[in-house]
């Protein structure tokens, strides 16, 4: 495993995302991932799977302190008291005692982030979270969040893949010692038939998905949490860390295009 070192944290660069995973499917995916060596699991109140994630973490012979657990507060729980109470409820469901990282899932324009951060600070002081952060914040919102927060902002989790590279946000993150966590790093499955990734993959006997994950994990201060349910795909994702891309290959892979990114999202996630 590789790690992202930021502030005082060491975060596994490759984790498991659990969006849209529920019930036994979620439990089985997390259990299998931990068995294979994953030590980074991402969940959220909105996912309605914290109980299954926590049950999977509790079952295997893995030390809780070795697993990086992230959960997210829904925007409707952004006020100080709601942050505290809803996170305690999340911890009851997870059964993990604390979470390594608590994020605000989306900006809430009706609530100042100062109020949200106060709740996060209280939780950290009580030992219920170790780090605080945000999700789906653009660069200007991230900067404002830093200004308003009484505790450091460790991470911003955003959709990030070769067609949606967030270069300005990533540069800002490096400058301010913040981690970017990439969700949907495979562009909602839209990279599987990509000719550039396939051509590069043939040089290393890797799939297009593995090449895309190697590109993401090679970015400075970036971790990623692709979703997967099958053992084969979970193993395949881990093997994305055992080779290196050249600078020229990395440049060829990155093709920022809002139009392409939106098309892949609408086609593969929304069925449009």
Active site residues: 47
Longest dimension (CA), the chain: 54
Pairing of strands 179-183, 153-159: parallel
Residue with tokens 């093709």: 255
Residue 88 near residue 126, CB atoms below 8 Å = no
Using CB atoms within 10 A of its CB, is residue 3 exposed (0-12), middle (13-18) or buried (19+)? middle
What phi and psi values does residue 4 have, to the nearest 5 degrees?
-100, 120
Count of Cβ atoms closer than 10 Å to residue 168 Cβ: 10
C-alpha angle 108/105/15, rounded to 5°? 165
Task: Please enumerate in sequence order all residues whose Cβ is within 8 A of that of 34, keeping only pairs 6 or more positions apart, or say none.
Answer: 41, 56, 57, 60, 62, 67
Task: Please enumerate in sequence order all residues whose Cβ is within 8 A of that of 30, keeping only pairs 6 or more positions apart, or say none.
Answer: 16, 18, 41, 52, 53, 56, 57
Pairing of strands 179-183, 99-104: unpaired
Lookup: tokens for 169: 């946000």
């Amino acid at each position: 495993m590789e790690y992202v070192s930021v502030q005082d944290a060491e975060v596994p660069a490759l984790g498991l995302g659990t969006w849209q995973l529920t019930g036994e499917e979620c439990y089985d995916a997390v259990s299998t991932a931990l068995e294979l060596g994953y030590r980074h699991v991402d969940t959220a109140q909105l996912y309605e799977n914290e109980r299954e994630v926590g049950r999977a973490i509790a079952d295997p012979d893995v030390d809780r302190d070795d697993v990086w657990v992230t959960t997210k507060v829904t925007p409707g729980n952004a006020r100080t008291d709601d942050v505290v109470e809803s996170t305690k409820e999340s911890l009851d469901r997870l059964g993990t005692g604390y979470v390594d990282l608590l994020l605000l899932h989306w900006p809430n324009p009706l609530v100042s982030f100062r109020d949200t951060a106060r709740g996060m600070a209280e939780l950290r002081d009580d030992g219920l979270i170790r780090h605080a952060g945000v999700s789906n914040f653009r660069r200007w919102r991230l900067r404002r969040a830093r200004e308003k927060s009484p505790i450091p902002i460790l991470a911003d989790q955003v959709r990030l893949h070769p067609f949606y590279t967030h270069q300005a946000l990533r540069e800002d993150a490096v400058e301010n010692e913040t981690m970017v966590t990439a969700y949907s790093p495979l562009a909602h499955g839209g990279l599987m038939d990509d000719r550039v990734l396939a051509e590069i993959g043939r040089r290393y006997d890797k799939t297009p998905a593995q090449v895309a994950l190697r590109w993401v994990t090679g970015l400075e201060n970036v971790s990623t949490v692709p979703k997967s349910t099958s053992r084969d795909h979970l193993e395949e994702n881990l093997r994305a860390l055992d080779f290196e891309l050249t600078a020229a290959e990395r440049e060829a892979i990155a093709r920022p295009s809002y139009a392409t990114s939106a098309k892949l999202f609408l086609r593969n996630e929304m069925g449009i």
